[in-house]
């Protein structure tokens, strides 16, 4: 895992789920919980690849109505807001707390929320832009893995030609 930077990405969970085709289709195919789990997995991979600290915020769901719940999964903080507190409101509180000292971006396609967080010192990234950033990272990693696989050499490829000739002669002598 990459070294944690002081860069943060706050993700409006349901906004992103509804905007990304494979996640919104997951809701139709399976259920919302499965879509949430997939988003968490994708963002954990993103966080590990970039070193950016990711916090995914979901509006309250199946939680004690009076308490906010949060936990860490694979290095990603996952927050379920308390009753009466929206994901937007929670994200704004975090931006207010750290937005002027740390590099903070907020992933949402909610235009009003984007304007609020920009006014409070954070950057914004739309759901589409985050989707493209994530997919670009995946493509780069696949290309690197393919390149590594192609560049793996056998002993015969890297051995000194003189030594190779001696080995081949020795093997030939043994076979006779």
Which domain CATH number covers 40?
3.40.50
Residue 157 resides in a domain: yes
Strands 69-73, 53-58: pairing kind: unpaired
Looking at the chain, the number of H-run helices and the number of E-run strands are 8, 6
Contact status, residue 17 vs residue 24, Cβ threshold 8 Å: yes
In a domain, 1, yes or no: no
Lowest mean pLDDT among 38-47, 50-59, 129-138, 164-173: 164-173
175 in a domain, yes or no?
no
The answer to whether position 15 is within a domain reads yes
- Please indicate, yes or no, if residue 72 is contained in any of the structural domains: yes
Q: Sort 74 into a burial class: Cβ within 10 Å, 0-12 / 13-18 / 19+.
A: middle
Quick one: CA dihedral 58, 59, 62, 66, positive or negative? positive
Domain ranges, residue 71: 7-170
Please check whether residue 176 lies inside any domain of the structure. Answer: no
CB 113 within 8 A of CB 12: yes
Is 4 a residue whose pLDDT tops 70? no
Number of folded domains that form the chain: 1
Note the pLDDT tens digit of each residue in 63-115.
Answer: 556 777 888 988 899 999 988 888 999 999 999 998 888 899 999 999 999 99
**pTM for this model (two decimals):** 0.78
Residue 57 in any domain: the answer is: yes
Asked whether residue 70 is assigned to any structural domain, the reply reads yes
pLDDT at site 61: 61
User: Do the beta carbons of residue 87 and residue 14 sit within 8 Å?
Assistant: yes
Q: Please, which residues have CB within 8 angstroms of residue 124's CB and are 6 or more apart in sequence?
A: 105, 106, 107, 108, 114, 117, 118
């Amino acid at each position: 895992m990459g070294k944690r930077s002081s860069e943060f990405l706050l993700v409006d969970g349901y906004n992103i789920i509804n905007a990304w085709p494979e996640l919104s289709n997951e809701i139709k195919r399976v259920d919302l919980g499965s879509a949430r789990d997939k988003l968490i997995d994708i963002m954990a991979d993103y966080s590990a690849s970039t070193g950016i600290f990711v916090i995914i915020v979901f509006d309250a769901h199946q939680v004690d109505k009076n308490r906010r719940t949060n936990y860490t999964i694979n290095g990603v903080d996952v927050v379920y807001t308390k009753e009466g507190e929206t994901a937007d409101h929670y994200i704004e509180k975090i931006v207010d707390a750290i937005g002027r000292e740390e590099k903070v971006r907020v992933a949402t396609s909610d235009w009003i929320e984007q304007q609020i967080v920009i006014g409070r010192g954070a950057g914004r990234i739309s759901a589409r832009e985050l989707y493209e950033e994530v997919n670009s990272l995946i493509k780069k990693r696949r290309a690197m893995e393919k390149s590594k696989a192609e560049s793996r050499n056998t002993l015969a490829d890297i051995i000194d030609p003189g030594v190779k000739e001696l080995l081949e002669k020795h093997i030939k002598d043994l076979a006779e």
